[in-house]
Amino acid sequence: MSEEDVKASAEATRQLAEDAVRARIIELGFGGNAGRFELFVNAIRDAIPLPVTVILRGSAVTGVKWADGSPFDAEGPGTSDLDLTFVGGEMLRLFQEFYIPGLHSVPLNDDSPAVAPALVPLRRALCRIAGRPVNMQATSSLMQFARDVLFGQPYYTLIDADGESAADGGAAGRER
């Protein structure tokens, strides 16, 4: 897939209805099991301090990897990861390594558990629920705005800053 194809996929995702993006995430990331998706979202909401917005981005949202355009789980079931980003709130304080100090963290994943030791138990639980790797990152609202507007990277809001979630029919949704 060319870079233009990947960008077209991102733009097509941005045009989808919220329910269609949610259905894609459940199908790709959770094997079509809406109950596991809801358990995943609730586990996050129960563990994080508010106010913080939690978004899902990457190939679980678009269906293709940003870097090379390969399909989600191209290497087999459970091989693609879920990319969680905590936006704003106190979550940046839980991270110890940054790409941009105080604004955009290095992701917590299998290769870098020391990035946010306090979040390792939550990450492990989320990986078990999803049946696949989960990356966790924190960013400022400014950085999220830049990724959305300047880079056109679609995302889906799992939990808004008020604690409402996609799992309970709250105000969560994909931003455009």
pLDDT tens for each residue of 81-94: 999 999 987 899 99
Residue 116 vs residue 16, higher pLDDT:
116
- On whether residue 173 sits in a domain, the answer given is no
d(CA 6, CA 104): 24
Where residue 107 falls among pLDDT bands split at 50, 70, 90?
very high
The verdict on whether omega for the bond into residue 51 sits within 30 degrees of 0, i.e. cis, is yes
**pTM of the predicted structure, to 2 decimals:** 0.85
- On whether residue 158 sits in a domain, the answer given is yes
d(CA 164, CA 55): 12
Which pLDDT value is given to residue 46? 93
Confirm if 29 and 22 have CB atoms less than 8 A apart: no
What the block records as the tokens of 21 is 């993006």
Average pLDDT score over residue span 101-105: 89
- On whether residue 59 sits in a domain, the answer given is yes
3-state secondary structure 25-51: HHHHHHCCCHHHHHHHHHHHHHHCCCC
Could you tell me which residues come within 8 angstroms of residue 35 by beta carbon, excluding any fewer than 6 positions away?
A: none
- On whether residue 22 sits in a domain, the answer given is yes
Nearest in space to 115 (alpha carbons), one of 127, 98, 102 = 98
- On whether residue 176 sits in a domain, the answer given is no
The residue segments making up the domain with residue 129 are 3-168
Which pLDDT value is given to residue 172? 35
Phi, psi of 155, rounded to the nearest 5 degrees:
-150, 170
3-state DSSP assignment of residue 174: coil
Number of domain units in the chain: 1
If you ran DSSP here, which 8-state letter would residue 154 be given?
-
- On whether residue 133 sits in a domain, the answer given is yes
Which pLDDT value is given to residue 168? 52
Which pLDDT value is given to residue 29? 95
Where residue 10 falls among pLDDT bands split at 50, 70, 90?
low
pLDDT tens for each residue of 19-53: 989 999 999 999 999 999 999 999 999 999 878 99
Where residue 102 falls among pLDDT bands split at 50, 70, 90?
confident
Nearest in space to 14 (alpha carbons), one of 121, 156, 126 = 156
Q: How many contiguous H segments (helices) and E segments (strands) does the chain have?
A: 6, 6
- On whether residue 139 sits in a domain, the answer given is yes
- On whether residue 147 sits in a domain, the answer given is yes
Asked whether the predicted pLDDT for residue 170 surpasses 60, the reply is no
